[in-house]
Copies of this chain bind each other. A is one copy, B any other.
Amino acid sequence: MTQEAAQGIAQGAAPEGEGGTVWRRIADELAAAIERGEYRLGDTLPASVALAERYGVHRHTVRQAFRHLADLGLVTVSRGRGTQVTTPRLPYPIGRRVSMRTNMGKLGITGTSRMLSAEIVVGEAPACTALRLKAGTPLWRVRGVSLADGVPMGTGTHWLAVERFPEFDRAYREAAGSITAAFRSYGIADYVRLSTRLAARLADEAEAELLQIAPDSAVMISTAIDALPDLTPIHLVSSVFAGERMEMVIEPFGD
């Protein structure tokens, strides 16, 4: 497309068939307005109906522009609250070792965790299988929530063998919710991320409340296994992350 054509579209001269380019132009203009500070963090962008009228396009075209801005992490689109300017998603590297706390520290963000519950459970067969333990092995089941600068990012359920990690509830609390620090208190200086499975679904009510997101927001669910450097699994964690606040980054050649 020529610059002239782009100008024409910007001026609202594009036919409906040019929708694929029009939404991009609208998105670019809104992004520029956000960058100029015309819309600030938490501000609501004009409604799609109003913007559709201004640009002389269908509101679907405006919604596509909103979606693009959401993909860039500039806005959050929700039915109830409209399209709000947001901060970009926090990158969460899924590398050799996965530590939310360390990751946030590198970005100058204060990562904190809070333990929600800790109990010893018997008979959680899938957890035993994942940790390559006999069915019926007593496991810690510890729930926690992780925050970045006070904003909830995700909530996780951790499973670990009671025999390998006696008094883990205390260790986890004393480590202020850092799994890495808790492991260190058991003499585990290094560990590796064996596997991570990621999927997306809608949040349930309890999760939405805990993560302070709108009901029926999208969450990313993660099931991950950490292991000793010799690849013996020691930690299973099933997490639910606020889809609008986090992105998982896999860069095998990154380090």
Residue positions of A touching B, CB distance < 8 A: 1, 6, 20, 60, 63-64, 67, 70-72, 77, 79, 89, 91, 94, 96, 117, 119, 121-123, 126, 192-202, 204-206, 216-221, 223, 231, 238, 241, 243-244, 246-254
In the bound complex, do residue B1 and residue A196 qualify as a contact, i.e. CB atoms below 8 Å apart? no
Given known contacts A6-B123, A218-B200, A218-B218, A250 and B63 CB-to-CB distance under 8 angstroms: no
Closest chain B residue, CB of each to CB of A241: B200
* Residues of chain B within 8 A of A192, CB atoms compared: 252-253
Give the residue among A1, A89, A126, A202 with the most B Cβ atoms within 10 A.
A202
CB distance from A191 to the nearest CB of B (A): 12
* Residues of chain B within 8 A of A122, CB atoms compared: 1
In the bound complex, do residue A243 and residue B195 qualify as a contact, i.e. CB atoms below 8 Å apart? no
* Residues of chain B within 8 A of A96, CB atoms compared: 252
Closest chain B residue, CB of each to CB of A95: B252
Beyond the given A1-B122, A197-B249, please list 15 additional residue pairs across the A-B interface where CB-CB is below 8 A: A20-B117, A60-B205, A63-B205, A64-B206, A192-B252, A193-B250, A194-B253, A195-B251, A197-B250, A199-B247, A200-B201, A200-B219, A218-B218, A218-B243, A250-B250
Contact of A195 among B20, B196, B249 (CB under 8 A): B249
In the assembled complex, the Cα of A71 lies from the Cα of B96 at a distance in Å of 25
Give the residue among A220, A223, A231 with the most B Cβ atoms within 10 A.
A220
In the bound complex, do residue A250 and residue B196 qualify as a contact, i.e. CB atoms below 8 Å apart? yes
Give the residue among A72, A216, A253 with the most B Cβ atoms within 10 A.
A253
CB distance from A59 to the nearest CB of B (A): 11
* Residues of chain B within 8 A of A202, CB atoms compared: 77, 216-218
Q: Would you give 11 A-B contacts (Cβ < 8 Å), ordered by A?
A: A63-B204, A71-B201, A77-B201, A94-B250, A195-B249, A196-B249, A198-B248, A199-B248, A201-B243, A201-B244, A202-B218
* Residues of chain B within 8 A of A231, CB atoms compared: 253
